[in-house]
Amino acid sequence: MTVRNAADVLVVGGGRMGTALGAVMARPGRRVALWARRRSVVDEINGARTNEQYLPGARLPDGLMATTDLDAAVAGAAIVVMALPSQSFREVARAVGDRLEGDQIVVHATKGFEVASFKRMSQILREETCTQKIGVLSGPTIADEIVAGHPSGALVASHFEEVVERTQRLFDGSSMRVYGGRDVVGTEVAGAFKNVVAVAAGAVDAMGFGDNTKWLLVTRGLYEMGKLGVAMGADVLTFGGLAGVGDLAATCASRLTISHRLGRSLVERREPVERLLAELPNAAEAVPTTAAIQRHADRLGLDLPIVRAVHGLLHEGRAVEACLEDLMSIPVGRELSALRIS
Question: Considering beta carbons, is residue 101 or 211 the nearer one to a copy of itself?
Answer: 211
* CA-based radius of gyration for the chain: 20
Question: Considering beta carbons, is residue 144 or 268 the nearer one to a copy of itself?
Answer: 144
Question: Considering beta carbons, is residue 167 or 265 the nearer one to a copy of itself?
Answer: 167
Cα angle 236-237-242, degrees, rounded to a multiple of 5? 120
Question: Considering beta carbons, is residue 24 or 93 the nearer one to a copy of itself?
Answer: 24
Q: How far is the CB of 315 from a copy of itself (least distance, A)?
A: 24
From the list 111, 119, 133, 194, the catalytic residue is 194
| Cβ count near 37 (within 10 Å) | 15
Amino acid, res. 256: L
219: Cβ contacts below 8 Å, ≥ 6 apart: none
Q: How far is the CB of 156 from a copy of itself (least distance, A)?
A: 9
Q: How far is the CB of 187 from a copy of itself (least distance, A)?
A: 10
Question: Considering beta carbons, is residue 63 or 153 the nearer one to a copy of itself?
Answer: 153
Instruction: Evaluate whether 17 touches 50 at the Cβ level (below 8 Å).
Output: no
Instruction: Evaluate whether 217 touches 306 at the Cβ level (below 8 Å).
Output: yes
- The three-state secondary structure class of 282 is coil
- Per the annotation, the verdict on 227 as an active-site residue is no
Q: How far is the CB of 130 from a copy of itself (least distance, A)?
A: 28
Residue 149: closest CA among 56, 8, 245, 26? 26
Alpha carbon of 93 to those of 18, 140, 269: distances in Å? 14, 24, 37
Applying CB under 8 A, the residues found at the interface with a copy of itself are 139-142, 144-146, 148, 150-153, 155, 168, 177-182, 209-216, 218-220, 222-223, 226, 235-237, 239-242, 245-247, 249-250, 253-254, 256, 324, 328, 332-336, 339-340, 342
Instruction: Evaluate whether 64 touches 22 at the Cβ level (below 8 Å).
Output: yes
Instruction: Evaluate whether 90 touches 96 at the Cβ level (below 8 Å).
Output: no
Amino acid, res. 111: K
Instruction: Evaluate whether 1 touches 101 at the Cβ level (below 8 Å).
Output: yes
Q: How far is the CB of 24 from a copy of itself (least distance, A)?
A: 11
Residues known to be catalytic: 194
